[in-house]
Structure 1
């Protein structure tokens, strides 16, 4: 959450000449409302069900193997989503340190319903808990201080087997 998945994914897709899909944007378009409204009107469980369905649908599409996709930071909380992604895609974990993430917090709280109404201590616990879940990946790329172009270059290096 808040690591820059969409901007980095778009930059990476452009450099690799591949299509890009943001699962959150797909859900927002289908539901004709932002994620924050889905959370308010239907709750997190309903959103997570939609998220799981869209990820599974997208990954089963014949062209998905050739695309760069961004899944929301909470998607991997669902074991089924983790399994689907780990088996059917190359999962790249965009790691952002707590310190760097904290610098983005003011911007993130507004658009991330899971952060609404939480104390900084609760947010830190959420961040720490998710790090364990995010340990399931094929590649880990730290994006602290990198712009989307630099981060996408770092991902390409990782995919090419260069040290990062």
Structure 2
């Protein structure tokens, strides 16, 4: 959450000559409302079910392998989603340190329902708890201080030098 998945993913897709899919944006377009509204009207469980369905469809359907896909930070907390991703895609964890992430917090809170009404201490606990789940990946790329172009170059370099 807040690591720059969308901007970095778009830059990476362009460099790899692939399409780009942001699962959150796909859901927003299908539901004709922002994620925050889906959370308010239908609840987190309903959103997570939609998210899981879109990820499974995207990673196992006809587009599989031809796109860079941005999966929301909360999606990967679902064991079934992790399994689908690890089996059907190359999972790149965009790591951002707590210090760098904290600098983005003001802009993140508004668009991340999971952060609404939380104290800094609660938010740090959320960040820390997610790190152990995010350890399940094929590649880890630290993006602190990198713009999307630099981050996408670092990903490409990582993919070339450390094949799965």
Shorter-chain TM band: over 0.9
In structure 1, the gaps of 5 or more residues are: none
Give the aligned partner of residue 47 of structure 2. 47
Q: Matched residues in 2 for 1:113 and 1:62: separation?
A: 31
Give the aligned partner of residue 98 of structure 1. 98
Q: Matched residues in 2 for 1:63 and 1:27: separation?
A: 17
Q: Matched residues in 1 for 2:135 and 2:106: separation?
A: 26
Q: Secondary structure at the match of 1:140?
A: strand
Q: Matched residues in 1 for 2:94 and 2:21: separation?
A: 16
Using the TM superposition, give the Cα deviation of residue 60 of structure 1 relative to its aligned residue in structure 2, in angstroms: 1.5
Q: Matched residues in 2 for 1:85 and 1:60: separation?
A: 9
Query: Does 2:83 align with 1:83?
Result: yes
Give the aligned partner of residue 18 of structure 1. 18
Using the TM superposition, give the Cα deviation of residue 7 of structure 1 relative to its aligned residue in structure 2, in angstroms: 0.2
Q: Secondary structure at the match of 2:93?
A: strand
Give the aligned partner of residue 35 of structure 1. 35
TM-score, scaled to structure 2: 0.98
Q: Matched residues in 1 for 2:93 and 2:63: separation?
A: 22
1:96-143 CA distance string (max 9 Å, x none) = 000000000000000000000000000000000000000000000000
Q: Secondary structure at the match of 1:65?
A: coil
Q: Secondary structure at the match of 2:137?
A: coil
Using the TM superposition, give the Cα deviation of residue 63 of structure 1 relative to its aligned residue in structure 2, in angstroms: 2.2
Q: Matched residues in 1 for 2:80 and 2:161: separation?
A: 28
Q: Matched residues in 1 for 2:66 and 2:32: separation?
A: 27
Give the aligned partner of residue 146 of structure 2. 146
Q: Number of residue pairs matched? A: 162
Q: Matched residues in 2 for 1:127 and 1:115: separation?
A: 10
Residues 60-71 of structure 1: pairs in structure 2 closer than 5 A: 60-71=60-71
Runs of 4+ in structure 1 over 6 Å off = none
For the aligned residue pairs, the C-alpha RMSD in angstroms reads: 0.7
TM-score, scaled to structure 1: 0.98
Q: Secondary structure at the match of 1:64?
A: coil
